[in-house]
Amino acid sequence: MKKFTRRRWNHSSWQHKFGWVNLKKIFTALLSLGLVFSMNVTVMADTIQELEQQKQQIIQQQNEAKAQRDAFLSSYNSMKETVEDIEIELQMMDSKIETLINQINANEKDLEATNQEIEKTQKEITEREEDIKEKQEVLDQRMTALYKSGTNGYISIILKSEGLGDFISRIEAVNKIADYDKKIINEMNEQKKELEEQKATLDLQKIKIEKLRAENIAKKAELDKSKSEQQAILAENQAKMKEFDEKVNYYYDLISRLEAQKQEKDRQITILRNRAQSSSSTSRGTTSANYSSDALVQYALSFRGVPYKWGGTTPSGFDCSGFVQYVYAHFGIHLSRTTYTQIKEGVAVSRNNLQPGDLVFFGYGSPHHVGIYIGDNAYVHAPQTGDVVKISPLTRKDYMGARRVR
């Protein structure tokens, strides 16, 4: 039987077999690998630190932009209140002017009617004067004839009388005719007097109407002047408000772009940290929901300046519901066509819990407008005919609610 004996480790033989050269190479390789790994970690750490610094710089820029935006937004809201007050005042002026125009038209009608009455009364006065003149002439002729005939006139009456009774009757008849003529003339004079008094009253009425008409015309002229002045002030304030609105939108846009940059830095930092921890975690990155929300907002903002078009559903022109439908469709999310049905989709979100990408609705009773919330109390939307897709502050009084569709 073969005997096995324990073999002693021979250090010198190991050295001889591998040699110092090979040993040095192995240690050098191990040392180099350790240095490389250490250097990679250091470089990665420095890169993360640089990204964090860049992120902080972006946040600082965001804060500065928000301060500028808030300042301009405050000026915009103040100017908006002034504009609304002027518009209300102009509406009241228009109402007063309309009332004065109606009063002036009524004055014109009253003057026309009064002038017609004056003409009619004057015509009647002239007719009475002619009647009186004619009757007076007849009476004068009769009395002149009797006067000229003198005694012969009465003798003729006596001679033609068939008796004393007939004579008395004839005398009484002559007197009655004379009295009747005088009565007629007196009545005509009374009528003429009444007509003259009536005309005098109408003349006074005409003077009053003309005075009232002149006062109304003067009031209207004064209101027209005030209205023109207010319209000039309104135009000036609207121009300032538009300037503030453009600046507010500029800073909303800047804040949104900075937010996108900040999220990109976060994404890069997350990737680097995951790589440093484990290669298996690199696929996780950032959550798709956050990234998708930001991407959706950025995509929506890319359509700023597209004109509003009623019934529009393409970048050649959008209405409000067509705009949000088009944006969501780009990310594979199908929305219905109108605000009346879109408000029923997704889940309800309170105003305090709004997130970028949420749909915001406006209206009283039923929705008539919709937009996409972009953060910082602002939303992007296709407003109305004559306007374009733009960013607006979420300050409307007819805000109804929000829906989150994912």
pLDDT tens per residue, range 171-230: 666 667 667 767 777 877 787 788 888 888 888 988 998 998 899 899 889 989 998 999
Highest mean pLDDT: which of 53-57, 169-173, 277-281? 53-57
pLDDT digits (tens, 9 = 90+) for 83-124: 888 888 888 888 888 889 999 999 999 989 888 988 888 888
Catalytic residue among 11, 16, 320, 330: 320
Establish if 138 belongs to a structural domain: no
Q: What's the pLDDT score for residue 368?
A: 92
Average pLDDT for 113-142: 81
Domain of 313 in residue numbering reads as: 289-406
Q: What CATH number is attached to the domain comprising 397? A: 3.90.1720.10
Establish if 241 belongs to a structural domain: no
pLDDT digits (tens, 9 = 90+) for 330-348: 998 999 999 999 999 999 9
Establish if 349 belongs to a structural domain: yes
Establish if 353 belongs to a structural domain: yes
pLDDT value at 318 more than 90: yes
Establish if 41 belongs to a structural domain: no
Which has more confidence, 74 or 270? 74
Q: What's the pLDDT score for residue 129?
A: 80
Q: What's the pLDDT score for residue 64?
A: 93
Q: Which residues of 252-288 are buried (b: 16+ CB within 10 A; e: fewer)?
A: bbbbbbbbbbbbbbbbbbbebebeeeeeeeeeeebee
Give 33's pLDDT tier (boundaries 50, 70, 90): very low
Q: What's the pLDDT score for residue 143?
A: 65
Considering its fold, how many domains does the chain have in total?
Answer: 1
Determine whether 381 is an active site residue: yes
Establish if 146 belongs to a structural domain: no
Q: What's the pLDDT score for residue 303?
A: 95
Establish if 399 belongs to a structural domain: yes
Average pLDDT for 283-304: 69
Establish if 328 belongs to a structural domain: yes
Q: Looking at 17-26, 152-161, 287-296, 355-364, which range is the least confident one?
A: 17-26
Average pLDDT for 358-381: 94
